[in-house]
Structure 1
């Protein structure tokens, strides 16, 4: 009679313990509090080792918040954005080739047979109109000017002149000034491509670190749930052992299981802290300091794999990927070099027209200076071998061919990236489905084994094995979800990122 009463009490205690296990392992009702005779060592609270540095916020942390923080304060991104300033500075420098130029020179001859002075001041303004240069100036010649320097003579007020110079062949269709400006304008596109590449890699890395942290939190939760089951069952096993229904070795085995699961909780806690530290490089406060996120901000659930993909991912990637835009801008820069080199092979043929008029009092005996003058000129020049221009042309054409090959390779690589990302997404989605089926079956086996144990048809060893199998299946499911989420980050990067114009399902995994 005493044995029957003890068995009834034991079944009630074990039943209450089973019902108290965490929901993630399919147990139902919480047990009443029990007193443990030999309490297990106190486990650290998640994040306890970093408690002084943890963020006090408790709202769940989302991926969008991490990405926004990284794009706002990540130090290397701030450095990368300076390339834009460098490109703007290069453009400003190139436009300086069209700055107004002022030249003045003077000479005084004070010793010798002739004593005189001369001053010549000139303003030149290059223009982008077929390489045309306009100019205007003033000059003055005073004193006893030798007759062989008669061109220095002016009236007492000097001479005003203005003119224009137009290149017909070399430097006509294109010259170095205009080529430098065009290349500098394209340099801004190159800089934007460099920045875009960095941003894509930053977004992918930040997403990886975020999902690593989330999955680490899920692993910790699984370890804690597994430990809770053993701790809840411990009192029931003790009572059953005291009643003589189970051997003391079963009681010791449960204590061993508790110690083993405590160790796993500590290891999972360390993994979560490590993931939080890695995430802090991307999650920063308004001042740019890294933020150690609290476990309290872990999202309550993981997103389910979805098949909402862009309808034409390869076409989209070829339109948006920054490295392709960068190479295309480099090719255009090189095409400018080719055009300039071809132009420089041509001979120089410049036409000029200059008008002048002396002002002020007439120098005695120099009345001819009062008449205005208009002078037209032609300048022809050509290096007969033209090796400099030909060498530059060959180099520019070779560089253009190289960039053309690189562009084709970039297109092929982008296509391969998209296909690989799609393959990874599909495989990860299948893994999640299979892992969930594995978990469902493991839970059913665990429940059946626990029922057999309650009826006295099994032992604690087999119950522990079933619980371990369920926990392993839960970990496999978490890792499969993590693989899908990381594959989603790879897919976003492969298609060139997402924007607010995209469908919500494409923006949010």
Structure 2
């Protein structure tokens, strides 16, 4: 059972920065105050307040906020490939009373950004069966350097660049998740708004029918109207009572569905109280010039396109690395050597002399390069796939934006037309009531005019809700808020 939202204050979320956060915290705090729980008056919960609460506390929004953190943690892990390493090992062999060897080696290895590995260390060897090239004590310092394959790019540098690009990919995924949850939340809010308007209209219709039934019943008693008129008025009253009860049920269920999006800062589910109401609708128009701006925004900022772009850039790094793997391996290593006792005699003249060194080279060339060529082809095929996907996504996004924009323009026209129809029907209904009061009309016509008036008003509110949903759909199609 969730915590009940007992107060819906009205902070302004038009502000930014600390003011917005303070207002939101004040709003959340007010949900749990005892005085707020004691209030029974109507509470208005605006769409902006609802949206801000979803962005701040909804589990999906919190999960989305973790994606960049995970990407940063992965980048930290990849940077570990360049961490210096201190290594020490000891190896001893003794057999049948013979001390064969005692080998001790300790060194520091430092990977570098230009591909070489620096290494410096000290070894000490004792025993009766040492190899000829093993010195009792030896200090060394040098490097291993690739001169062909892995010179310009290697696995660790490629992995690091891809991890950096993954930061942007994670941010795009975060935006995509937020946009999706905001779209679902907006649709749910305006469903609640429509159910609330329907319940109000049904209650209004019932009250009108109840008042008319009482008036008709009174006139029937004095013989001013026939008994059948009283029966008809009672049937209308009961029918509208059923409609009001059904509308109230739908409003309660819509309120419960909306509560699925409401969470506290501590992660506890919240529920709207029964007396809460949607805030007044602030009608927002969309100018014709907005379409081009939204199309431009979608091409540059839509999360789906951003994700594809970062994937292409990651594959570009992979493709460069795979091309480099076609080169032969040619690695050289060089170490300066020195025995510590020489340092004691003449530090400047004898330490790490040129003739005290160790040098080596390695050359490897696979004759067919089938493994390397296969890897490169796979990467290029993936690039082609992503490029085709990018074109498709760009086309679909443009179509979605255009479709959503057309729907908004059409709904705006419907809204203006429907408002005129409601005004005209209101005049007809009022006129029919006056005629009935003067005995020039029937109860059937009054009920018909009134029912049609309520129906048209509900249709007007339905168009308003569709318009707001279409605005949310346009924002989602464009990859952000309108």
Indicate the TM-score class for this superposition, using the shorter chain for normalisation: 0.7 to 0.9
User: What's the secondary structure of 2:68's corresponding residue?
Assistant: helix
CA offsets 1:249-297 (integer angstroms, 9 cap, x no match)? 1011111111111111111101111111111011233333333324644
Offset at 1:100?
1.5
Offset at 1:143?
3.0
CA offsets 1:153-205 (integer angstroms, 9 cap, x no match)? 23xxx111000122111111110111111111112222222111110011111
Q: Does 1:329 align with 2:297?
A: no
Q: Indicate the residue corresponding to 2:412 in structure 1.
A: 429
Aligned ranges for residues 41-440 of structure 1 at < 5 Å?
Answer: 58-111=42-95, 115-129=100-114, 131-145=115-129, 149-154=131-136, 158-294=137-273, 296-299=275-278, 301-304=280-283, 306-308=285-287, 310=290, 312-360=293-341, 372=353, 373-440=356-423
CA distance, structure 1, for counterparts of residue 38 and residue 244 of structure 2: 20
8 A Cα contact 1:216 1:268, kept in partner: yes
Offset at 1:92?
1.7
User: What's the secondary structure of 1:144's corresponding residue?
Assistant: coil
Taking a change above 3 Å as real, the CA distance of residues 323 and 54 of structure 1, as seen in their structure-2 partners, is farther
CA distance, structure 1, for counterparts of residue 155 and residue 328 of structure 2: 15
Could you list the structure 1 runs, at least 4 aligned residues long, displaced by more than 6 angstroms after superposition.
53-57
Q: Does 1:467 align with 2:454?
A: no
Number of residues of Structure 1 aligned to a counterpart in Structure 2: 436
User: What's the secondary structure of 2:126's corresponding residue?
Assistant: strand
Offset at 1:145?
4.0
Offset at 1:486?
0.5
CA offsets 1:305-328 (integer angstroms, 9 cap, x no match)? 523473511001112211111111
Q: Indicate the residue corresponding to 1:455 in structure 2.
A: 438
User: Which consecutive residues of structure 2, in runs of 5 or more, have no partner in the other structure?
Assistant: 1-36, 344-349
CA distance, structure 1, for counterparts of residue 39 and residue 224 of structure 2: 50
TM-align CA RMSD: 2.4
Name the TM-score, length of structure 2 as normaliser: 0.85
CA distance, structure 2, for counterparts of residue 238 and residue 222 of structure 1: 24
Moved more, 282-291 or 414-423: 282-291
Offset at 1:472?
0.7
8 A Cα contact 1:120 1:137, kept in partner: yes
CA distance, structure 2, for counterparts of residue 139 and residue 497 of structure 1: 62
The structure number with the bigger radius of gyration is 1
User: What's the secondary structure of 2:380's corresponding residue?
Assistant: helix
CA offsets 1:74-132 (integer angstroms, 9 cap, x no match)? 12332333333332222122111112123333333433788333222222111112x11
CA distance, structure 1, for counterparts of residue 377 and residue 39 of structure 2: 61
Offset at 1:385?
1.7
User: Which consecutive residues of structure 1, in runs of 5 or more, have no partner in the other structure?
Assistant: 1-52, 363-368, 499-505
Q: Indicate the residue corresponding to 1:444 in structure 2.
A: 427
8 A Cα contact 1:305 1:484, kept in partner: no
CA distance, structure 2, for counterparts of residue 350 and residue 277 of structure 1: 68
8 A Cα contact 1:145 1:153, kept in partner: no
Taking a change above 3 Å as real, the CA distance of residues 419 and 338 of structure 1, as seen in their structure-2 partners, is same
Offset at 1:353?
2.3
Taking a change above 3 Å as real, the CA distance of residues 422 and 475 of structure 1, as seen in their structure-2 partners, is same
8 A Cα contact 1:305 1:429, kept in partner: no
Name the TM-score, length of structure 1 as normaliser: 0.81
Taking a change above 3 Å as real, the CA distance of residues 57 and 120 of structure 1, as seen in their structure-2 partners, is farther
CA distance, structure 2, for counterparts of residue 472 and residue 371 of structure 1: 98
Q: Indicate the residue corresponding to 1:37 in structure 2.
A: none
Offset at 1:239?
2.2
CA offsets 1:353-402 (integer angstroms, 9 cap, x no match)? 2111101389xxxxxx9984134433211122222111111111111111
Offset at 1:66?
1.0
CA distance, structure 2, for counterparts of residue 451 and residue 56 of structure 1: 38
